[in-house]
């Protein structure tokens, strides 16, 4: 079972990521978004359907590559996020992605950057790729880097949360993975 399988199982019941000011939490579809005092949130509220985004990412990888690869290079990650990849990895947009990595929003967990001018050697896990997609979409919707970092941390922590799921949920997730394979 991969980290994306675990993430998908965790997102099964609460696939929505809700961002209000500096708070980030998960929720089920149809939920009423209220603060700790039971009042409706005031001000801007961003709701991201991580479950849908994850299914779309997995479908995209299967359609384009025929399978889910174990890792992705920087040009592939740029393609997934919509961040253009310039010649020799020197574009301003590339630096945007590198900034996200430097600030801890996205990781190159398979093979970290080796230094200046060598970014193409970095390798990203599929969980890293999904975190990058989440950050890219949230940035496109106008969220600041601090809120995006909280969302990214949520994505990275979800596979670990899998071990806290009820046994029957884990069993259904394993059966779904076997049925796909």
The predicted structure's pLDDT at residue 59: 87
Is the sign of the CA dihedral 139, 141, 147, 153 positive or negative?
Answer: negative
**Closest by alpha carbon to 165, among 54, 30, 11?**
11
Q: Which residue range(s) make up the domain with 75? A: 3-33+44-174
Residue 38 within any structural domain of the chain: no
Residue 39 within any structural domain of the chain: no
Strands (E), the chain: 16-20, 23-27, 45-49, 71-73, 123-125
Residue 168 within any structural domain of the chain: yes
Residue 180 within any structural domain of the chain: no
Q: How many domains does the chain have?
A: 1
Residue 14 within any structural domain of the chain: yes
Residue 104 within any structural domain of the chain: yes
pLDDT averaged over 10-residue windows placed end to end, the chain, 181 residues: 80 76 73 72 75 87 84 84 65 72 91 63 89 91 87 85 71 71 56
Residue 150 within any structural domain of the chain: yes
């Amino acid at each position: 079972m991969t980290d994306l399988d675990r993430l998908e199982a965790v997102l099964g019941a609460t696939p929505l990521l809700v961002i209000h000011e500096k708070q980030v939490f998960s929720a089920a579809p149809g939920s009423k978004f209220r603060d700790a005092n039971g009042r409706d949130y005031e001000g801007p509220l961003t709701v991201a359907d991580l479950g849908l985004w994850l299914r779309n990412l997995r479908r995209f990888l299967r359609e384009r590559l025929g399978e889910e690869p174990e890792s992705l290079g920087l040009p592939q990650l740029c393609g997934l996020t919509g961040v253009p990849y310039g010649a020799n990895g020197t574009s301003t947009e590339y630096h945007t992605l590198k900034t996200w990595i430097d600030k801890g929003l996205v990781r190159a967990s398979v093979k970290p950057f080796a230094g200046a001018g060598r970014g193409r050697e970095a390798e990203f896990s599929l969980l890293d790729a999904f975190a990058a997609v989440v950050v890219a979409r949230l940035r496109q919707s106008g969220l600041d880097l601090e809120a995006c970092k909280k969302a990214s941390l949520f994505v990275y922590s979800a596979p670990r949360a899998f071990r806290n799921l009820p046994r029957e949920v884990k069993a259904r997730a394993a059966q779904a993975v076997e049925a796909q394979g």
